[in-house]
Amino acid sequence: MNIGERLNRKGDKITFYYDYGRGPGQRPSTGIFIYVRPKNQIQKNHNKQALALLEVKKSEMTIDEQATGSGFIPMHKFKSNFIDYYAAYVVKNKCEGNRHLEGSLAHFKKFLKKEIIAPVDITENLCKRFRQHLLEKLSGETPANYFSRFKGVIKAATKDGYYRYNPCEDIAAKRNPSRTLKANLEVDEYLLLLKTPYFNQEIKEGFIFCCYTGLRFVDVFALAWKDIKDGKLTTRIIQAKTGLPVILTLHPIAQSIIENRRKLRRTLIDKDKIFRLPSANGCNKGLQQWVNRAGIQKKITWSCARLSFSILLQDKNVDTATVACLLGHATTEYVNKTYKRHRPKNQAETINQLPAPEQVPYFLNLN
């Protein structure tokens, strides 16, 4: 392994680079330099330590070359902090429109309550406790989704030589069905909210826009002018089958909100956000104040907009495949499990379809 050196423009430092050849990109920097004429003891010490580090790097590169094609993995390839490995895996494997991988890492840090953990400390027992942590803190499909991503990280680490046996292999991901149904808005409540004034126009219009598009809070929070064109919304959600983003035709009410936003802005820049919303917590507090003012006796959070969007479409006999597509789902699984309410369209009319008393001999005999 050859390491070259070059003098910088000022002539006061020598920098070092890996010499793989004469082609473009074949001389990457090592990130190490030394002073040409050290002025004091600090710079002399720097030179001594830099040259020692350079020898270490040369040794590591030599071992890497010798290990090529063999089953041996050099020790310097391993990260001493598993959180660093996890974070690097997230960066390389995260998917646009899907935040399960990032969420699993965030909750793993919350579970550990520290930023450093050695790979050897990731045991089967720790994996079980992390799964329990997810089940206690989250509901619905989220615990299963996050733990499945965590298992993927452990599986990759096992293949990378961190573990002889996968400590997570025999631990199944579990979902945590909510014991209470999340509230949704009915048609009359939609109309009531539209008529009820609220001092925070950003929250009001942002929430109504979600009710008519099915967007999540994170999506409307990041929504920019470049995402709206010719009455259509290009979402950040990528369809699994086509690899293309979901495109929604805007409802007239959603279009009127966009037009109102345009009038409020003096200049429109593509990357600028359409809604200037506070934090998720602040939005939910403001939303509940507005709901209470409208006289709606329900606990409504921002996620209820997406749920209501799905339920009211299905009430109008829109098929679940179409609803799933509008929500950005590849299948109807989540529409049937999460974004649905099983109920008759007209309860009284449905019950009246049952046999009447005059049609049942038992009741005729009683009279």
The amino acid at residue 13 is: K
Q: CA quadruple 286, 289, 294, 300: dihedral positive or negative? A: positive
**pLDDT for 208 beyond 70:** yes
Mean pLDDT value of segment 226-244: 70
Mean pLDDT value of segment 166-173: 92
Who wins on pLDDT, 159 or 242? 159
Q: What is the pLDDT of residue 352?
A: 62
Sequence-separated contacts (24+) of 175-179 with Cβ below 8 Å:
175/140, 175/141, 175/143, 175/144, 176/134, 176/135, 176/138, 176/139, 176/140, 176/142, 176/143, 176/144, 177/139, 177/140, 178/139, 178/140
Confidence band, pLDDT 50/70/90 cuts, at residue 76: low
**pLDDT for 71 beyond 50:** no
pLDDT digits (tens, 9 = 90+) for 106-135: 999 999 998 889 888 899 999 999 999 999
130-to-39, 70, 91, 112, 183 alpha-carbon distances in Å: 54, 35, 22, 9, 29
Q: What rounded mean pLDDT belongs to the chain?
A: 82
pTM of the model: 0.55
The percentage of the chain sitting over the pLDDT mark of 90, rounded to a whole number, equals: 30
Who wins on pLDDT, 256 or 247? 256
The percentage of the chain sitting over the pLDDT mark of 70, rounded to a whole number, equals: 80
The third-level CATH classification (topology) of the domain covering 187-337 is hpI Integrase; Chain A (1.10.443)
**pLDDT for 363 beyond 50:** no
Q: CA quadruple 9, 13, 16, 19: dihedral positive or negative? A: positive
Mean pLDDT value of segment 163-181: 82
pLDDT digits (tens, 9 = 90+) for 312-353: 888 788 888 888 777 777 677 766 666 666 555 565 565 666
* Domain ranges for the chain: 3-73, 78-159, 187-337
* Separation CA 24–CA 107 (nearest Å): 42
Confidence band, pLDDT 50/70/90 cuts, at residue 248: confident
**pLDDT for 37 beyond 80:** yes
Q: Which of 165-179, 234-248, 250-264 has the lowest mean pLDDT?
A: 234-248
**pLDDT for 73 beyond 60:** no
CA angle 193–194–199, rounded 5-degree value: 80
8 A C-beta contact, residue 327 and residue 338? no
195-to-90, 192, 286, 292, 294 alpha-carbon distances in Å: 44, 5, 17, 13, 8
Q: What is the pLDDT of residue 75?
A: 53
Confidence band, pLDDT 50/70/90 cuts, at residue 64: low
* Separation CA 251–CA 254 (nearest Å): 5
**pLDDT for 228 beyond 60:** yes
